Structure 1
Amino acid sequence: MTSTDTVPSTVPASRSEQTVSLPDGDLHVTDEGPRGAPALLLVHGSVSSGRSWDQVAPSLAARYRVVRADLLGHGRSAKPADASYTVPDQARRLAEVLDRLGIGSVLVVGHSSGGIVATALAELRPGLVRALALVDTGPSLGSYLDPPAGGLAPGHWPPTDDELRAAARTALASDDVPVPDVLVEDARRMELASLGAITAATTAYLADEPLPDRLAPLGKPLLVLFGELDRRWAPASADDYAVVPGATVTLLAGVGHSPILENPARTAAILLDFADAVERVG
């Protein structure tokens, strides 16, 4: 399939926003693209939401069915203080959303900690996940650069918008790159209890076993995309994924931790090429 091919579809393209009610909390879900096309699931990072994919999703949805869900505790989804925010539970909820939508096979794309949830989904439901793409997802705790928490420090809540922008700045290539309003708005929606639980759960999952060791035995096609100027995870750590058979590692010049915001056109093109390759192999 070339970049100009169209994925066959028997159902016209559409876009819907809906709330999917699950036993432990409601999730906000965006579903767009041709309903008969192969499905992509886009998973956002911590202190973010499905809206972080807004500049990438339309290009993908021209040929694929694209599903985005705000993880529990994020965005427009519920934020119960007493819920389990473990990475496997977040992955389980995504699987339940896909089941509700009648999607039996999906290519999962995760940004930052969204790639950790994507990995857990592949572990939990290997028959559901046909391939994975990880965008600036650190392979292990040792690759984390530990940027300052700024206004998101647990002892200082709620932060001001200026403090939120300062905390979000390390998600971009440099302090000179403007912080998109969507990052501030999504951070503003977070609640301290769920934020702390989500952060602890992500750390625990990585501490238990690095992502490359989890992915290697699964035998799934894997794309690892990393900004060369990432200030949150060491870009050189992308090479750690080489232990995964058949993994493709691509470094993007001129961008930092958030290629989906800093260079969405290039990011979308790379993801489309990968998705097309996966479909060719079948």
Structure 2
Amino acid sequence: MRRAIAIVLGVFALLCVALLALSKPDIPYEELEAVYADQDSQFMTLESGLKIHYTDSGQRNRAVIVLVHGFAASLHTWENWRNELKDEYRVISVDLPGHGLSRAESPDMATTERFSDVVFELLAAREVETMTLVGSSLGGNVVARMAVAAPERVEGLALVGSSGLAQARHESQGQYLIFSLLRAPVLGRLLRDLDLSGLTRSELEESFFDPSFATEEMVERYIALSRAPGHRATMFALLTRPRTFEDILDTAGLDMPILLMWGRNDGLVDVANADASMAAVPEAQNIIYDNVGHLPHEEIAAISLADMKRFLLRVEWAALAEQYVVPAGDPRLVEDRID
């Protein structure tokens, strides 16, 4: 009996040593900012005390485009689009709490509701009243919630690889191995602080139809930013909270132009969600790209950006039409005719 107990204790000790050897410490924000902040980076401390990283660039007197990234990502995902759009629009991109260079809050505050409130608070501080919201993956859930909460402020809504408006019954969200492992109650907590570099690399490669888009630089950025203080706890909370990716929203009040973009080969959000989303918002424009994965704005940046620009023109025309609408009975509706 004593020998059996000794063996068990020995195995447990070896496991503890192995976990300690594989664990990776947090990286201070200051070190991460030195590498991943760019010339457009700005930081703001909100009234709640939360420090947010964002960019606000482009044409100050033009329409505002707000870009919100997905789970475990950062505002860097929009770099190609942002660099092009800021020539014609005012473009704001934001790191959600516990992502990128934004600070993390308590894990119990890691919800799409809280994230949408944070983005609204940032926009208020930047004196933005109306905007077009664009969200990728989980960011689509965030911006969809914002549009439902304040449709009068949202001129246009675009979701990229996101089931934020509606979910198909056979939703495949979160089927990547790393997500499944982190969701496990005990194993997830153990894995949270380990070196998952290899797993992160493979999952990023699966985010693209062409895995070569997951460059070494991208993999290193994802791994490094995930090790910011509190970020791993935020991601763990998002993954383990029921319905994080499956908000049920009342879309009846959404009458703004809506664009839905999908990669037909998305392994994270099943393209079947396109049908569910179109049923929820039948007037939306729906684009499905062949041979594209979860991140069309990165994998086919030029093609998807061209579609986005066409959508933004439609948003501008819709805003102008609403601004200059003439009420029924107005004398300006009567045309002078020369017989």
TM-score tier, shorter chain, comes to 0.7 to 0.9
The answer for the alignment partner of 1:277 in structure 2 is 314
1:95 to partner: Cα distance: 0.6
The question of whether the paired residues in 2 share the 8 Å contact of 1:150 and 1:166 is answered with no
CA distances 1:197-240 after superposition (whole Å, capped 9, x unpaired): 22245x5245452xxx5334322221000011111111132121
**Runs of at least 5 residues in structure 2 that lack an aligned partner in the other structure:** 1-38, 183-187, 320-339
Structure with bigger strand share is 1
Indicate whether 1:255 and 2:292 are aligned: yes
- What is the aligned residue count? 263
CA distance in 2, matches of 1:81, 1:27: 15
| Structure 1 letter corresponding to 2:238 | I
- Alignment of 1:113 with 2:130, yes or no, is no
Following TM superposition, by how much is the alpha carbon of 1:185 offset from its aligned partner in structure 2, in angstroms? 1.3
* Match 2:126 to one of 94, 98, 101: 101
1:177-216 to 2 correspondences below 5 Å = 177-180=212-215, 181-190=217-226, 191-201=231-241, 203-207=242-246, 209=248, 214-216=250-252
- Is 2:110–2:234's contact at 8 Å kept on the other side of the alignment? yes
2:184 is aligned with 1:149: no
1:46 corresponds to 2:75:
no
Structure 1 segments of 4+ aligned residues over 4 angstroms from their partners: 205-208
Corresponding letter in the other structure for 2:45: S
Scaled by the length of structure 1, what TM-score is found?
0.86
**What does residue range 119-134 of structure 1 map to in structure 2 within 5 Å?**
119-134=144-159
SS of 1:76's partner is coil
> So what's the TM-score if we normalise by structure 2?
0.72
**Of 44, 47, 61, which residue of structure 2 is paired with 1:20?**
44
What does 1:84-99 align with in structure 2 at a 5 Å threshold? 84-99=109-124
Q: RMSD value over aligned CA atoms?
A: 2.1
Question: Is 2:180 aligned against 1:140?
Answer: no
Name whichever structure is richer in helix by fraction.
2
Indicate the percent of aligned positions where both proteins have the same amino acid. Answer: 25
8 Å contact kept, 2:258–2:284: yes
Q: Is 2:101 the partner of 1:64? A: no
Change (3 A) 1:250 1:220: same
Deviation at 1:272, TM superposition (A): 0.8
Q: Which runs of 5+ in 1 are unaligned?
A: 1-14
- CA change 1:183–1:100 in 2 (3 A) is farther
Question: What is the rounded CA distance, in whole Å, between the counterparts of 2:127 and 2:159 in structure 1?
Answer: 24
Match of 2:205 in 1: 169
